[in-house]
Structure 1
């Protein structure tokens, strides 16, 4: 299972971070779970008034994440799911979305939560969506990672002690 070995970190106070979530619309049940997981992480980390933006699909995550990052958000969480089909479309979308989100992070210096599920079938996606019978909650995990990264970036930029 891909979630084994994940670090255990208690939620921290992130009330002073501006956070946006950009979420694809495809695969409604999976996306509902990912968004619920993100919202749970935001609440546990005390994020006030996060912005949630929906986009048609996973391909569109990067361009909207880039715009949100340029608008001054401290963290942007990208949530989507791509399920393998019988054509190369899966590979193209996964690669473009992943590369695009990485470029946003490096180009803007903004913490980007990578919550893009790339699954062979719907069962794998449901198992990672944070639903009642899921083994993992990638929406929560991507959000928590983005928040902790945003805090680290803030400390570095303020030249605060990092240890």
Structure 2
């Protein structure tokens, strides 16, 4: 028997959101940003409660996210970037660093960070995930809103 079930939703109410988006592969990240903004606005988040920070590339995303968390009053952050496999091990190093960096920040600051960093084999796959076959930026935004909702419900049940 389940003692208690807590589930989130994508309408957590008034929430302040940070979005960190890399400029590298901007033809893809801009589409992801558009998808994230559309999802946020479609779920009641107003423009005044959204802070967008642009950073050079995906490798720089964890530091930018950390600065948003530490210097802006946000309930959570969406990290948007693209890493495309090349012929060298650089892909693995960048992907691992971004993944570890974001995971460490979530645990350190106890704030949700949605992982909207595409890791693809080629540009075609990235474009598909940025709009042609769904938008991972929008999906990341919805995941963040759900996590914010879960945190709100857990905090309110503490009282």
Specify the TM-score bucket, using the shorter chain as the normaliser.
Answer: 0.7 to 0.9
Cα deviation, residue 33, structure 1:
0.8
Q: Deviations over 1:25-76 (max 9, x none)?
A: 0112101110000010111111122111100000111111112222331010
**Partner of residue 5, structure 2:** none
Given the alignment of the two structures, is residue 76 of structure 1 paired with residue 77 of structure 2, yes or no?
A: yes
Cα deviation, residue 160, structure 1:
6.3
Given the alignment of the two structures, is residue 141 of structure 1 paired with residue 139 of structure 2, yes or no?
A: yes
Cα deviation, residue 13, structure 1:
3.1
Q: Is the 8 A contact 2:10 2:149 kept in 1?
A: no
Gaps of 5+ in 2: 1-8
**Partner of residue 28, structure 1:** 26
TM-score w.r.t. structure 2 length? 0.88
Cα deviation, residue 113, structure 1:
0.9
Cα deviation, residue 14, structure 1:
3.8
Give the total of aligned pairs. Answer: 148
**Partner of residue 66, structure 1:** 66
Q: Which has the higher contact order (CA 8 A, sep 6+)?
A: 2
**Partner of residue 45, structure 1:** 43
Given the alignment of the two structures, is residue 91 of structure 1 paired with residue 96 of structure 2, yes or no?
A: no
Q: Greater helix percent: which structure? A: 2
Cα deviation, residue 138, structure 1:
0.1
Gaps of 5+ in 1: 1-10
Q: Deviations over 1:75-102 (max 9, x none)?
A: 1000000000111110000000011011
Q: Distance in 2 between matches of 1:141 and 1:32?
A: 15
Cα deviation, residue 12, structure 1:
3.9
Q: Is the 8 A contact 1:14 1:47 kept in 2?
A: no
Q: Is the 8 A contact 2:12 2:148 kept in 1?
A: no
Q: Distance in 2 between matches of 1:120 and 1:127?
A: 12
RMSD (Å), alpha carbons: 1.5
The DSSP-based 3-state class of the residue aligned with 1:67 is helix
